[in-house]
Amino acid sequence: MKKSRKIITFMSRKSSSLSARSLQGFNITLIRNGYSRAPPRMYHFTTLKKLINESHELLSLPTFAKKVYTLEGKLIKEDSEVQPKMTLVVSCGEPFNSGKKNSTDNKYGRDVLIRVDGSKSSINHKEEEEEEEAKEEGANGRRLPSRTRSIYDSVSFLFKKDEPKEEEEDKPDTSNNNKLPKVKLPRSTKTVEDQFRDENYARFCQLDRKDMMKVPNSLSIRAMIRNTQREMFIQSYVDQSIKSDITIEKKVADLLYDRKPLEIRYAIVGPGKSGRSSVLYELAKSLFVKLQTSKILVFMANFDICDPSDLYGFIINTTIYSLKYCAYQINPLADILAKWLLTIPKVESLSQLPSPFFAVGNVNGEEIRNLGRDLHKAYHKTDQSSTEFYKVLATVPIRLAKACGLEHVYYVIDHLDTCPDQLKKHLAFNMLKDPFVVSARDNNKLVQLLPNIELIETEKLIRPADKRVLTVPQLKLRLDALDCLGCPTYIKAFTDLCNAVGAMKNKATVKNKYSPIKSSIDESRRLVAVEKLKALCESLLNAGSKVVSPSIVNSIDKNAKLDFVINGQPDEEEKLDQFAEADEYEAIEGSL
């Protein structure tokens, strides 16, 4: 009996100790929220508040923990919801996206990657088998085969659309969190989104034509690349200070109709400030769309903003910028190439071309290296003649285009006559082999430089549709749209002047009991109209118009009291412009 009592006493003590241990807490598993590579950690749970305070050091969180979820995404709010041997996800306040493990992959020590939206990554079954075989070979002491990521996976994100999922009440909206931030990278002019886009376009363009056709939605990728190229082409206009304030789509369509794009060689001539740069802008933009199907490199330059002392850097930077969007395969290496080329005049011995240029698809590294050698040799010649150097410099666009798999150079040059004389002749010689659209201030120099080309004169280029007549009695001046010589910019200036005068006339002065009251807005309207009139008259006088004389231009002064009289009615489009300007005046007057 005594022996049995001892056994009962021992068993009762053991059961009491187990119950006391269970009251003190139990073990659970904690993992970090999101895409985490850290292994799960065991934790002895007592209270939810204590778990949140201690998980910061246990899981090496960047900030203090704020929320705890189950693997299904349910938010834990009370201690009773936590059960023994449970796996919980600790969050620092970000939405729930757990990085959990698959039991079948744990035996190999590898996690299944979980995307931000909760779906598995695009690692297929074949790739998993290759990884397992590579690990077995590595365990046997054999060399592991190198395997790069497929191009199909790198561009597949462009067309992958995730299906929307139902969100819980306690789950915030995370639709904007998955987008790439529109911030600029350090020491770069690109945003994160632009960098991500350019790298994937480069991978696609580095493929052979047969491999490109194997990529899913390859035609859609090509369309996206062409749209980006058009955006970069317009950005080149901004960088080169080439702008347009006219609209001549019908005339541009007539000039390009039934013409082979690769055989177009236009030179735009005309009086000063008649719209040569504007016509070049509109014409070159439409021609670029037609040339996109061909393998071309755009060389856009405005020599009016070029510093003659840095002519070499101007040519190199302009060509490299065009390579970034015309030959996307070299886009990731474009800055390295620019730095290598710009150092050629500064060093006595030419440095080696970086090795990545010899491993990129659709890029001929040997041709680029030969170009660098020719530039270095011509620049560091012992004789004083620099003709050979500028002759090689003029071939930089076409040689870089050939090295990147392109066949032609599309020249868009404004103010070609201001190009330094030592480069002008050699550049013109290379231009005659490819399509181009150029303009110049001196028409005679342009014709001598590029003989046997088709000239487009801004004078009598378009037929005016404005029927209004502007009269200034004090100056004995009468102007209509036919007096603008058919130049686009002169007609645009006349239309703007008539719209400004019309807006001024529509706003009559306020009548007081004893004298009329004039506000400051009326005076500003008058000054704007006088300035527009003087600018138009000066342009017409320089263009050789017989309607305007020097005495009329000298009589136009800001302090002169001029009366403007308009006869006739504008067309519908000009009426809309006039109403828009009137609304702007009302807004300004209301703010005053």
Q: Same domain for 325 and 448? A: yes
- What CA–CA distances, in Å, run from 353 to 348, 365, 367, 395, 430? 15, 8, 11, 19, 26
Q: Same domain for 550 and 435? A: no
The reported pLDDT for the residue numbered 106 is 40
Residue 85: is its pLDDT beyond 80?
yes
Q: Same domain for 477 and 503? A: yes
* pLDDT bucket at 500, cuts 50 / 70 / 90: confident
In a domain, 382, yes or no: no
* pLDDT bucket at 169, cuts 50 / 70 / 90: very low
Last residue of a domain, one of 433, 457, 481: 457
For residue 576, the SS3 value is helix
Q: Same domain for 434 and 476? A: no
Which residues touch 306 (CB under 8 Å, ≥6 apart)? 314, 418, 419
Query: Amino acid identity, residue 267?
Result: A
208-228 pLDDT, tens per residue?
888 888 888 888 899 999 999
Enter the tokens of residue 590.
Answer: 């209301």
In a domain, 113, yes or no: no
Distance from the Cα of residue 137 to its chain's centroid: 46
Q: Same domain for 497 and 560? A: yes
Cβ-in-10-Å burial (0-12, 13-18, 19+) of 47 comes to exposed
Q: Same domain for 410 and 316? A: yes
134-153: average pLDDT: 44
437-460: average pLDDT: 89
140: number of Cβ within 10 Å: 7
499, 528, 522: which is closest to 510 by C-alpha? 522
In a domain, 474, yes or no: yes
Asked if 154 contacts 206 with a C-beta cutoff of 8 angstroms, the reply is no
The reported pLDDT for the residue numbered 484 is 93
pTM above threshold 0.75: no
333-377 pLDDT, tens per residue?
999 999 999 999 988 889 999 999 998 889 999 999 999 999 999
In a domain, 361, yes or no: no
In a domain, 483, yes or no: yes
Q: Same domain for 450 and 488? A: no
Enter the tokens of residue 364.
Answer: 């001929």
In a domain, 251, yes or no: yes
Q: Are strands 26-32 and 87-91 parallel, antiparallel or unpaired?
A: parallel
Q: Same domain for 491 and 446? A: no
Return the CATH number at 38. 3.10.20.230
Q: How far apart are CA 396 and CA 375, in angstroms?
A: 9
246: number of Cβ within 10 Å: 16
In a domain, 219, yes or no: yes
Dihedral of CA 235/236/239/240: which sign? negative
Enter the tokens of residue 180.
Answer: 């790439």
52-76: average pLDDT: 84
% of the chain at pLDDT higher than 70: 72
Q: Same domain for 529 and 559? A: yes
Q: Same domain for 308 and 221? A: yes
In a domain, 545, yes or no: yes
Q: Same domain for 295 and 411? A: yes
Q: Same domain for 219 and 290? A: yes
Which residues touch 401 (CB under 8 Å, ≥6 apart)? 296, 297, 326, 327, 407, 408, 409
More confident call, 586 vs 325: 325
Task: Give the count of domains, the chain.
Answer: 3
Return the CATH number at 286. 3.40.50
The reported pLDDT for the residue numbered 31 is 87
Backbone angles phi, psi at 225, to 5 degrees: -65, -40
The reported pLDDT for the residue numbered 573 is 52
Residue 277: is its pLDDT beyond 70?
yes
Residue 318: is its pLDDT beyond 60?
yes
Q: Which DSSP string do the residues of 96-160 spell out, in sequence order?
A: P-B-PPPHHHHTTT-PPPB-TTS-B-S--HHHHHHHHHHHHHHHTTPPPPP-PPPHHHHHGGGT-
Last residue of a domain, one of 39, 56, 91: 91
Identify the domain containing residue 221 by its residue range.
Answer: 201-334+398-457
Asked if 246 contacts 489 with a C-beta cutoff of 8 angstroms, the reply is yes
The reported pLDDT for the residue numbered 49 is 86
Asked if 524 contacts 497 with a C-beta cutoff of 8 angstroms, the reply is no
Residue 172: is its pLDDT beyond 80?
no
Residue 11: is its pLDDT beyond 90?
no
